[in-house]
Structure 1
Amino acid sequence: MELIKEIYEKDIGYDGKNSENIYKLRKASRAIILNDLGEIALLYVSKNKYHKLPGGGIEADESIDIALNREVMEEVGTDIRVLGEVGVIIEYRDKFQQLQISYCYYTKAVGETSKPAFTDEEIDNGFLLKWVPLDKAIDILKNDMPDNYVGKFIRNRDLVFLNKTIEILNNIS
């Protein structure tokens, strides 16, 4: 999978430095999910005023694809078929001494869609599922103003994934 970007604190408006360069690794899977109407799933984190792509952490005993399917079922309530790779983004979250690697795929929703099964933390953060056209999703994220550290990384990361997806889909057509 292609590495499409590395995101540092300077990219989100922070000057912090992890002088020890010690990071705890977190791997995550993300999905751009297309439905039959050509819309994609987008999660709104109302507590911190930003949107994000469905996905999350890969547990120790999981492969990327198993984690991807689990996260999508939990957050969107649908099964998916992977259509292709978008790419990898590495985030250096110095404040938490965390190195996050996100693997993103573009997918198609298949079968019936059920209600998301948000975790207590996601409920507390005010997660809401939306379906919007891909170009509108980009506009939404461009206009988001996350009020927290993690949200700023997520906004930056997911905008790159969305723009890369448009590039990929335009090359297919």
Structure 2
Amino acid sequence: MRLIREIDDTVITREEMNMQDITFNVRKSSRAIVSNSSKQIAIIYVSKDKYHKLPGGGIEKGENYMSALNRELMEEAGVEVTVLGEIGMIIEYRKDHRLLQISNCYATEMIGELVEPSLTKDERSKGFVLKWVDLAEAISLLENDQPRNYAGKFIKERDLTFLKEAARMNE
């Protein structure tokens, strides 16, 4: 997977970061740009914290990137997909959370019928709402988001980068 960006607090909070003094916990995750037959993509609005995100999430014990991707897409978007290709990898260094997150993002296409997402209790409490929009609208929505929390600012930056990379690859 090709590394397309690294994001840290100097990007998010404009604070200098000395990473030599921080022990990070590593979290690996899979995300996707899921397109449907109408060429719209799935994005999730996190209503509690006022930002949009791509469907996807962390790899759990016993999973690999693909099995985590399939589980997360069913949970958050209610879709099964076929993977069309790789978008790229982004590494986030979240100093306040002592988190080093590695996100692999894939271009996918929905197969079969849309089913009701099976959101976790945490996702329901954050007010996850699934939307289907075209790629340009997804980019615009994320560009105009103003996340209320630290994690949301990283998520916005990460997923906006993935969307812009997908648009560049589609040119």
TM-score by length of 1: 0.96
User: Deviation per CA, 1:91-147, whole angstroms, max 9, x where unpaired?
Assistant: 000001110000000100000110111101000000000000000000000000001
User: Deviation per CA, 1:61-100, whole angstroms, max 9, x where unpaired?
Assistant: 1010000000001111110000000000000000011100
Equivalent residue number for residue 45 of structure 1: 46
> What amino acid sits opposite 1:45 in the alignment?
V
- Offset, 1:60: 2.0
> What amino acid sits opposite 1:2 in the alignment?
R
Q: How does 1:12-161 map to 2 (within 5 A)?
A: 12-15=12-15, 17=17, 18=19, 20-161=21-162
Which stretches of structure 1, 4 residues or more, deviate above 6 A after TM superposition?
Answer: none
> What amino acid sits opposite 1:166 in the alignment?
A
> What amino acid sits opposite 1:27 in the alignment?
K
> What amino acid sits opposite 2:103 in the alignment?
S
Alignment root-mean-square deviation, CA:
1.0
- Offset, 1:14: 4.1
- Offset, 1:13: 2.2
Identity percentage over the alignment?
51
Q: Which segments of 5 or more consecutive residues in structure 1 lack a partner in the other structure?
A: none
Find the aligned partners of 2:44 and 2:168 in 1 and give their Cα distance.
22
Aligned residues: 170
> What amino acid sits opposite 1:12 in the alignment?
I
